[in-house]
Structures are given as C-alpha cells and as structure tokens.
Chain A
Amino acid sequence: MAVSDMGLKDIINYEFSYMFRRNPKTALVLLGLPFLYTLLFGFVYSANSVKNIPTLIYDQDHTVVSSALIQAITDSDRYKIVAEVNTQEAMEDYLYTNDAIAALVIPPNFARDIKLGKSSQVMITINSANLMFSNSILGSISEIVQTFSTGTGQKSLEGLSQMPSQALSNAAPIRLAIRVLHNPTLSYSNFMLAGMGANGLQLAIMIAICFILTREYTNISHLKDTWAPIILMGKLLPYWICAMISFVVYLTINVVFFDSPFRGDMGSLLLIGSAFTFAIINVGAFYSALAPNQIFAVQLPMLYIMPSYLFCGYSWPLLAMNDFSRGFAAIMPITYAADVIRDILLAGYSPVLFANTAILFAFGGVLFCLSCIIFFLRRRKILKRLSLEMTS
C-alpha cells in the first residue's frame, strides 16, 4: 500500500493480510499453538491420577489376615503389585532399581499379635524423589490401612462380647467425612489443563505479536502520517480477535475431548478471556515497541513468559509464596486469569472475576499508552534521520 495516511480500516486489513497471507506462520502459531498444547497435555494427563504405582510386597507373616490386607491394596487401582519378595535384601534391591516405587512390609506374627490384642504394625516405604507418587500413595494408603484396622478392631471387640455395631463405633468413634468440592476425583487433567492452555495461549500471542512494531521501524514510510494510537489499535485488533478464537478453541477441546467440567457460564469465560488476551497483546506490543531488533523482540518475552506459569499461583499457591514471589506473581497477567478460568470451569464461578478483569484491562491499557508514546518517539527519530539523509 503506497498511501502514507492509512486509516484504521486500512491498517486492520493490512495486518490481517500480513497474518494470513504474507506471513501465514503468524496465524498458524496464534491459532495452532494453544490447540496443540491442549491436545498434547490432554493426552499426557488423560489417566487423571497416578495409578498402577509399582508396589512390592514383603509378607513375613503369610496368614489369612496378611493376605486380606494385601488384597485390600491390590484392589485399589492406585497400586500394581510387581513382586512378592521374601528377604529384606530383595526388597531393597527392587526399591534401589526403581522397579518398585512403594514397598509394603508385613512383620512376622502380624496375625498372632492382632489376635492376642497386641498392636501390629505394617510399614510402607515410598521412594519420594517424585512427589507425584508420594502424594498419590499418602492420599490412599492410610485410608486402606485404617479401614482394615477398624474392621479388625471391630472383630476383636466382638470377642469381648460387644454387639457388632457397637464394636464398630468403639473401634472408630469418630469418622472423617471428606467432601472435596469442585474436583471430587482429584483429577489431574481438570487441575492442570486449563492453565497450561492459557500458558500456551500467552506464548502464542507473544510469538505472533513480537515483531508487530519492530518490523515497521525498518520500513516506516507507509505509516508516517497516521496518528500512533490508530496504528496500534489497527494492528492489535486482528490479533485480539484471533487470540479470542484461539481461547475459545482450546477451552472447547478441553471440555469436549478431555471431559473437563464446564460449570460456569460462557459470558464469564469470554470476559476473563478477553481481558487476559488484551493484557498479553499489550505486553507483546510494548516489548515490540521497545526492542532494538527482531531477535531481541522475540527473546525478551521469553524471559518474562517462561517462569510466569509457575509463578502465577495456578499450581504452587500464592499462600505458600514468600513476598518476593508474590510480588513477581503480581506483575504477571496470567496470575489474574489462570485461576479464574479454572474456577469458572470447575466451580462455576469465581469470586474475583470482575476485580481481575478490571486489573487486566487497566494493565493492558497502561501498556497500550506507553507503547503509543514509544512508537511515536521512535518513529519521529527515524523519520528525522531519513529526511536528513535525503537532504544530504
């Protein structure tokens, strides 16, 4: 386009044609990356929880009672019995080679001690180098052993001529009734996918948008007379539209293919989605306005974006962070979005939806103004240099 005074519509058209025709990689990244991320991670976490943990049995008792306890563990889908060994060394060996992650040891005289009314101990050894295993085991093993113990205690009290129901109450006078809200199966994909998709989306936006102004600095003549905010608006709007499409697509895959619950309403999701993409697009534009060249424009965001997912409180909660980390989290747009998106999906609402939406729009708005000023100043400098070259 040879016109030097381009209107808003011209710039929008120009940007769309750049995205889809002149450099289709841009549209591909923006629309494809969040889609691909969700698909990939959906498959990774499709098992929902860590099951079939290789478990080893070292039963020194070999009685009906010990077999019953082993059966209780075998019946849980968390554990997969890989071997039964007969010596301490063999057990250590399995654990050492990682062929087993957990080992259950039943001591000799296990059944006899119970019958004699002595306390008996079973031991679980867990290799907890990877916390996923230990969390899964800790969440299930005490329940299994407790149930078994209560049942055994009940029988033992019946031996003291108590009635069965009374014996049970005596053996377990207080019961724990747990209700896990919003994600009762403790599904890992419900927990992780929405945030990883949001992370993919912010990455895609960054990659797609980081040259948006940088590439104009080398060839500024066609934009020399247009008001800076109009240029930025026209350039950013197409990305915002595509980012929103990408947002809807990734969440749809999440819900349709990977059975994520969707308890909230579409309006809330679109609201937080639009605020989030708006903020990220303006972060990208800001970097692009600042960066001295294209390589910087793409490598700078990396420093900012890569740690943000782990800092945003989505997995490691804000309440466990120190002040430094909390401060760092506070300047990341994804902090205000990822948790809200998950809450809307799983719980159906988010108490901070409107507050966070406002923060994100304000954040993006401030960056937009800064980008306009920087672009305006740099353009003036470049044009002055060009006119000097022309006259000399």
Chain B
Amino acid sequence: MNLWQIIKREFRQMFVQDPKRVVYLFGASAIYILLFGLLYGTHVVNAVPTVVYDEDQTTLSRSLLQNFADSERYKMVAYVTSQEEMEEYLHSKQALVAINIPNTFSHNAKLGLSTPVLVKINGTNLIITNTALSAAQEIIQAFSNNMGSHLLQTTGQMPQQALHKVAPVSLELRVLHNATLSYLDFFVLGLAMAALQQGILLSVSASMIYEYQNMHELQNVSTFTVLAGKLLPYWLCGTIAFVMALTISSLAFHIPFNGDFASLLALGTIFSFTITAFASLLAAYCRTEVTFTQFSLAYAVPGFVFSGYTWPQYSMDIISTVISYTFPITYVADTVRALMVSGHAPALHKNILILLIMGVILLTISTLVYINKRKHPTISAEKTALSQS
C-alpha cells in the first residue's frame, strides 16, 4: 500500500468502520461550546437575593436602599424588621446578601457624624461574593460622596466645589478586552480547547491502538508511510475542528473574533499536530482503548486547571508551575483567548515554537516505539491478548 491508500484506509475507518472517532474529533469541542455557551449565556451574575433590614426607616435610608434595588446585581427578596429574621434569611440561604441600616443612620449622617451601613455577604461562592462586593463598594461610595457634598453646601460652598472637597480623587476604570466582565468570553474558549484536545486524543488513540493490535495488516509498508498515512487525516481533521469551534463560538455566542485568522490557524494547526503526536505515543503504552480512555478522563480536568487559563501562573507555586509547563494546552488556551478577545497574543510565536518542538519530540519517540514494536511483534501481540482476556 502506498501513502495515499493508507490515508484513504484511515478515512474509511474514521467515518465508516469506527465512526465514533469522527464524532469525538468534531463533536467534543462543538458540544462543549454549545453546552457552556448556554451555561454562561447570562454573562454575569445578576439578581443576587438580598434581604434588607432597615432600622432607620427614613427618606435617606430608603433612598440608599433604592440605589441597591436599582442595581441589577441585587434582587430584594425581603424587607425584615428584626435582626433574627435577617439572620434567618442568611442562614437558610434564601438571601446571600443582607443590608443592615442602623437606626441612627439618617440622624448621624445629617449631623455630619460618620455612620456605617453593614453589608453581610455569604462568602462560600466567590463568584457571587465578588459581584456583590464590588457593587456594594461602588454604590456606597457614590452615595457617600453625594451626601458629603450636600453637607458642605450647608457651610456655604458651591455644589461643584463641595464635591471636589469630599472626593478629591476619583477613580476611572478602563477594563480592556472584556469590558463587561463577561464569563462567557472568559471561559468558553478554553473549555472548547480542552474538549478538542480530548477529541483528538480519543480518536487518534483508537486508530493507533487498532494498528498495534493488528500489526500484520500493514507489515509490508514502511514505517514512515504507515505513520504519515495514519496521522495526517487526524491532524487535518483536528485543525478543521479547531476552526469550526472558533466559528461556532463567534457566530452562535458572539464571542469576539478580533484576532487575525492566519495567527489562529497557525496556532490551531500546530496544536492539532502536537496533540496527534502525543496521542500516538500514549497509544503505544495503553494497549487497549479502554485503558486509554481511563487515562484521558483522569487527565482532562488537571490539564485544564493547570493550563493557567483561569488561575494564572503568577499565582501558582513552583511545583504547579512546572507541571503547567509540561501540558501542551498551556500554550494554546490562553493564547487563543487573547487572540480572539483582544486581537493579539504576545506569546503567540514563542508558544507555536514550543508546541512544534514538543510535537516533533513526541512524534520521534512515537516512531521509535512503533519501529521497536514492529521488530518484536510477538511480544506486543501476546501482551494484547493478555490484556484482552
């Protein structure tokens, strides 16, 4: 058989004889994008259930509470009249935030005494806590500045000047690349890359393990032709799946597509190559597809967590950083997001180079292992028979 025939044989296996391979290859990342696109479709956490205990019941306290109610971050679930009731709402998790305005609030504020507003936030889920925390800071600060400037106006200052006196330094925030802090833009691309990796791993391994179990079928073909003919189709399809994943995320879920297509394609091609090589090597050691699947299942979650995609490498300890550098997805997930969302990725070329080197090394070892197994077919056949029994 020549190279072309092997490629055709491989495509036939992929689509006809063992179609789950093509399903994994194209389906994994597509399903992940659809699922998580729907999951994070709300983009941000809004309407955190909030209980209010207003001991003051004055115009001022109500106007502060109105500010909270107007913010879409909070959803008032109850107005209570005792400390116990408030605690009960928090305890039963009917409310995750409690706003408590003391009874001297309006009185003290008008006298020019500093007066606190107590905001209690359930801290178990940090995504909710972060949302509630920064919104509360913003609301109270604006309200306080406004109040302070009113106070000064009573001493005869002009409104504008009074405001400058109480809030001489204001903060202007410029959030680049993901201005609305959307979780969808932040998370989904990386998950899709993790799924794509699993898809390539599973389909390539299914192909290679079949070959190791049936070595006699291609024994007269040169090693190069076998490996090239078997791996090229997966490399190609992996790259197509990569482009498909990005297209769906952009068209169906409006994730920004700011980067240039060539850079993304280059990254996707090399990623697909490296993972294909990685899978062909792993397959040599995982005698059966079942073992391989078990391994890839256990690898998926750490692979994603260690990639620095969410928890940044700056904040990892030394062991985790080292582990992180050995995973191919580390060089892809973050870079794809940077390219898509912000339009440029400073580490693009470096990462492509690293992936390429990784891929070449993995492919070389994998080839050597294949040659070795060809020389000793009896051993590998026995092992296979053993593991199948």
Contacts of B251 in A (CB 8 A): none
- Is A181 a contact of B315 with CB atoms below 8 Å? no
- Is B165 a contact of A171 with CB atoms below 8 Å? yes
Residue of B nearest to A126 (CB): B175
- Is B133 a contact of A139 with CB atoms below 8 Å? yes
- Is B294 a contact of A174 with CB atoms below 8 Å? no
- CA–CA, A349 and B88, complex, Å: 13
- Is B314 a contact of A53 with CB atoms below 8 Å? yes
Interface positions of B from 180 to 228, Cβ below 8 Å from A: 181, 183, 186, 191, 198, 202
Contacts of B148 in A (CB 8 A): 153, 170-173
Contacts of B202 in A (CB 8 A): 299
Known contacts A47-B315, A139-B130, A171-B165; A294/B290 CB under 8 A: yes
Which one of B166, B174, B305 lies within 8 Å of A170 (CB-CB)?
Answer: B166
Contacts of A4 in B (CB 8 A): none
Provide the A294-326 mask, 1 if CB < 8 A to any CB of B, else 0: 110011001101110111001111011110110
Provide the B278-314 mask, 1 if CB < 8 A to any CB of A, else 0: 0000000000011001100110111001100111101
Tell me, rounded to whole Å, the shortest Cβ–Cβ distance linking B224 to chain A: 29
Interface positions of A from 155 to 211, Cβ below 8 Å from B: 156-157, 160, 166, 168-184, 186, 188, 191, 196, 199-200, 203, 206-207, 211
Contacts of B306 in A (CB 8 A): 40, 44
- Is A320 a contact of B312 with CB atoms below 8 Å? no
Which one of B38, B141, B173, B305 lies within 8 Å of A44 (CB-CB)?
Answer: B305
Interface-facing stretch out of A9-17, A279-287, A340-348: A340-348
Known contacts A44-B305, A203-B301; A121/B170 CB under 8 A: yes
A64 within 8 Å of B (CB atoms): no
- Is A152 a contact of B168 with CB atoms below 8 Å? yes
Number of residue pairs spanning A and B whose beta carbons lie under 8 angstroms apart: 339
Tell me, rounded to whole Å, the shortest Cβ–Cβ distance linking A116 to chain B: 9
Residue of B nearest to A135 (CB): B130
Residue of B nearest to A322 (CB): B41
Contacts of B337 in A (CB 8 A): 129-130
Which one of B42, B112, B124, B174 lies within 8 Å of A346 (CB-CB)?
Answer: B124
Contacts of B378 in A (CB 8 A): none
Tell me, rounded to whole Å, the shortest Cβ–Cβ distance linking B210 to chain A: 12
Residue of B nearest to A141 (CB): B171
- Is B300 a contact of A299 with CB atoms below 8 Å? no
Known contacts A96-B346, A295-B293; A179/B121 CB under 8 A: yes
Interface-facing stretch out of B9-17, B89-97, B234-242, B264-272: B89-97
- CA–CA, A276 and B175, complex, Å: 41
Give the size of the chain B interface in residues (CB under 8 angstroms).
109
- Is B124 a contact of A129 with CB atoms below 8 Å? no
- CA–CA, A33 and B114, complex, Å: 54
- CA–CA, A37 and B323, complex, Å: 13
Which one of B47, B128, B172 lies within 8 Å of A122 (CB-CB)?
Answer: B172
- CA–CA, A157 and B164, complex, Å: 10
Interface-facing stretch out of A142-150, A241-249, A267-275, A378-386: A142-150
- CA–CA, A50 and B311, complex, Å: 8
Residue of B nearest to A296 (CB): B20
Residue of A nearest to B44 (CB): A320
Tell me, rounded to whole Å, the shortest Cβ–Cβ distance linking B11 to chain A: 21
Known contacts A174-B147, A176-B116; A128/B123 CB under 8 A: no
Contacts of A97 in B (CB 8 A): 346
Contacts of B2 in A (CB 8 A): none
- Is B338 a contact of A176 with CB atoms below 8 Å? no
Interface positions of A from 9 to 48, Cβ below 8 Å from B: 29, 33, 37, 40-41, 43-47
- CA–CA, A143 and B314, complex, Å: 23
Provide the B128-172 mask, 1 if CB < 8 A to any CB of A, else 0: 111001101110110110011001100100000101111111111
Interface size class of A (residues with CB under 8 A): 35 or more
- CA–CA, A236 and B291, complex, Å: 21
B342 within 8 Å of A (CB atoms): yes
- Is B151 a contact of A317 with CB atoms below 8 Å? no
Provide the A56-78 mask, 1 if CB < 8 A to any CB of B, else 0: 00000000000001000000000
Which one of A117, A146, A191, A322 lies within 8 Å of B141 (CB-CB)?
Answer: A146
- Is B92 a contact of A351 with CB atoms below 8 Å? yes
Known contacts A122-B171, A316-B127, A342-B124; A127/B290 CB under 8 A: no
- Is B124 a contact of A325 with CB atoms below 8 Å? no
Which one of B113, B121, B155, B294 lies within 8 Å of A181 (CB-CB)?
Answer: B121
- CA–CA, A122 and B144, complex, Å: 19
- Is B177 a contact of A129 with CB atoms below 8 Å? yes
Residue of A nearest to B182 (CB): A131
Residue of B nearest to A319 (CB): B47
- Is A117 a contact of B39 with CB atoms below 8 Å? no
Known contacts A130-B310, A174-B117, A299-B202; A148/B342 CB under 8 A: no
- Is B314 a contact of A183 with CB atoms below 8 Å? no
Residues on B lying within 8 angstroms of A by beta carbon are 20, 31-32, 35-36, 38-42, 44-49, 64, 90-93, 109, 112-130, 133-134, 136-138, 140-141, 143-144, 147-148, 151-152, 155, 161, 163-179, 181, 183, 186, 191, 198, 202, 289-290, 293-294, 297-298, 300-302, 305-306, 309-312, 314-317, 319-320, 323, 334, 337-338, 341-342, 344, 346-347
For the A-B complex with A149-B169, A316-B45 known, give 17 more contacts whose Cβ atoms are closer than 8 Å. A40-B323, A44-B316, A69-B169, A123-B174, A128-B181, A129-B341, A130-B310, A141-B171, A142-B137, A157-B165, A169-B112, A170-B151, A176-B136, A177-B116, A177-B117, A302-B198, A311-B35
A-B contact pairs, 8 of them (CB 8 A): A40-B305, A129-B176, A130-B334, A172-B114, A180-B133, A298-B294, A319-B49, A328-B35
